[in-house]
Amino acid sequence: MSQKNLDTIGLDSEGSPFLIQPLADLASLETYPAQRLLFREGEVHAKIYWIKEGRVRLEMSSARAGAKAMLTAGPGDLLGWSAVLGDQRMTATAVATLETTLIAFDAAALSQLCEQNHDIGYKVMYTIAKSLSKRLVATRLQLLDLFYQPQGTME
């Protein structure tokens, strides 16, 4: 894969091909048409993705409410992060809402590379942490909308 593709998701190397090339060697591009299922909540999935182009809806299920859309992820966003942290069981269902191109990594191979080269590992984990921070803020904002009650109203 081209190193430029990795620049688009924050895995650039600030000019050091020695850091970026091993990542580019592990990465592949995957394209999904609109409405295509990427993975299902609860299933074991061995890949981690960054969205290059397109949009992906993340859904979670509950016995009471059924499947509910929780978030729409777009370019630069991370999907399947639990696979690289050791738990390959997906916490949400992911469905492409537009034609979507993903930068995909085998999670075990990426973890192994991070363990072997700590400079690469730092860059990858930093990028994952930034993505998760962004996701946490989006979730908090969604919860504020969900539980917001205008002043003066009580139920």
* Cα 49 from Cα 128, distance rounded (Å): 10
Phi, psi dihedral angles at 85 (to 5 degrees): -95, 10
Could you tell me which of 13, 14, 31, 20 has the C-alpha nearest to residue 101?
31
pLDDT of residue 66: 77
Q: Answer with the residue of higher pLDDT: 37 or 138.
A: 37
pLDDT greater than 70 at residue 149:
no
* Cα 76 from Cα 62, distance rounded (Å): 28
pTM of the entire predicted model: 0.82
pLDDT greater than 60 at residue 13:
no
Q: Answer with the residue of higher pLDDT: 2 or 106.
A: 106
Strands of 3-155, DSSP E = 28-32, 37-39, 47-53, 56-62, 66-73, 78-79, 93-96, 100-106
pLDDT of residue 17: 67
Per-residue pLDDT tens over the stretch 56-86: 999 988 778 777 888 899 998 999 988 888 7
Cβ burial, residue 110 (10 Å; 0-12/13-18/19+): buried
Mean pLDDT of all residues in the chain?
86
Per-residue pLDDT tens over the stretch 36-54: 999 999 999 999 999 999 9
Orientation of helix 17-26 relative to helix 118-147, angle to 10°: 70
